[in-house]
């Protein structure tokens, strides 16, 4: 392929369900409420029992069935590394399709406690399907609203992005094979990144929680193209 050629897939031609792994929860998890004096002493060591609810919203409305991860209680930190498959296919998406993520805690008893939520659009401003790791800032105590535009975006504001966010974007590019791999240099780079991550975490890590998901990649970039039968899809969904 020459340098001036651009190969891509059209989203309307991808007859596969939307699939992505939910990776982990980063940041300092809020401490559980202090137990009453009558509670068993083992309650003091109780960890959160968390799961992630995943739902697709199209043009501000829920579309298809939501799904959830397994319960994870080994944290903090919390690692799922679980593949999620939605009922909706890539060819059914519109350019305003958004993934709604909510983290719930079941450790407080019968009632679920909302840890936080966030939204991420599936397509970027160039109408290209997003790929690779996505680090989403959770809005603590708030359900992701699913609206377009949303009041609960997972994207960190540009003016708050620091050295760590810049490096994570480069790692994402590296993992997609768009940066040449050099073993000895890669090892040095990742060690330096760990030191930066520890320094940044000790400085401001207590203020936010982040949910990391990993959007699947295809052989070529996927560009949005509306399906001809999209109107029929929405009509069936509304019935």
Query: Which of these, 109, 85, 110, lies nearest to 99 by C-alpha position?
Result: 85
Where is pLDDT greater, at 100 or 231? 100
- For 74-88, the DSSP string reads S-SSEEEEEEEEEEE
User: For the chain, which residues make up each domain, given as ranges?
Assistant: 8-155+209-238
Distance spanning both ends of the chain, measured CA to CA: 46
Mean pLDDT of 186-215: 77
Residue 229 has pLDDT above 70, yes or no: no
CA angle, residues 52, 56, 62, in degrees to nearest 5 = 115
User: 190 near 9, Cβ under 8 Å?
Assistant: no
Contacts with 25 (C-beta within 8 Å, 6 or more apart), sequence order: 50, 75, 76, 77, 78, 103, 209, 210, 211, 212
Distances (CA, A) of 134 to 32, 119, 120, 168, 232: 27, 11, 9, 9, 32
pLDDT of residue 108: 76
- What is the rounded distance in angstroms from the CA atom of residue 81 to the CA atom of residue 32? 24
- 119-125, long-range: CB < 8 A, 24+ apart: 119/57, 119/144, 119/145, 119/146, 119/150, 119/152, 119/153, 119/154, 120/153, 120/154, 120/155, 120/213, 121/96, 121/97, 122/18, 122/93, 122/97, 122/98, 122/215, 123/93, 123/95, 123/97, 123/224
pLDDT at 27 over 80: yes
pLDDT digits 0-9 by tens, 108-159 = 776 889 999 999 999 999 999 999 889 999 999 999 998 988 999 998 777 6
Low-confidence winner among 41-45, 88-92, 105-109 (lowest mean pLDDT): 41-45
Residue bearing tokens 């939204």: 119
The class level of CATH for 8-155+209-238 reads mainly beta
**Confidence label for 44 from pLDDT (cuts 50, 70 and 90):** very low
């Amino acid at each position: 392929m020459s340098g001036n050629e651009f190969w891509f897939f059209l989203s309307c031609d991808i007859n596969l369900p939307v699939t992505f792994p939910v990776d982990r929860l980063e940041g300092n998890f809020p401490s559980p409420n202090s137990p009453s004096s009558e509670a068993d002493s083992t309650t003091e060591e109780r960890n959160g029992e968390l799961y992630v609810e995943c739902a697709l919203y199209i043009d501000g409305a829920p579309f298809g069935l939501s799904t959830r991860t397994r319960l994870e209680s080994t944290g903090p930190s919390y690692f799922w590394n679980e593949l999620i498959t939605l009922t909706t296919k890539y060819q059914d998406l519109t350019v305003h399709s958004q993934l709604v993520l909510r983290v719930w805690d079941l450790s407080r008893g019968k009632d679920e406690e909302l840890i936080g939520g966030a939204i991420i659009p599936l397509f970027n401003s160039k109408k290209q399907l997003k790929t690779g790791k996505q680090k989403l800032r959770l809005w603590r105590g708030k359900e992701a609203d699913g609206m377009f535009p949303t009041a609960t975006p997972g994207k960190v504001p540009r003016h708050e992005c620091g050295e760590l966010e810049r490096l994570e974007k480069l790692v994402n590019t590296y993992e997609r094979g768009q940066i040449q791999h050099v073993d000895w240099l890669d090892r040095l780079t990742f060690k330096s990144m760990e030191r930066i991550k520890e320094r940044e975490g000790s400085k401001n890590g207590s203020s936010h929680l982040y949910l990391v998901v990993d959007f699947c990649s295809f052989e070529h970039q996927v560009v949005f193209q509306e399906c001809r039968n999209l109107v029929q899809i929405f009509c069936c969904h509304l019935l």
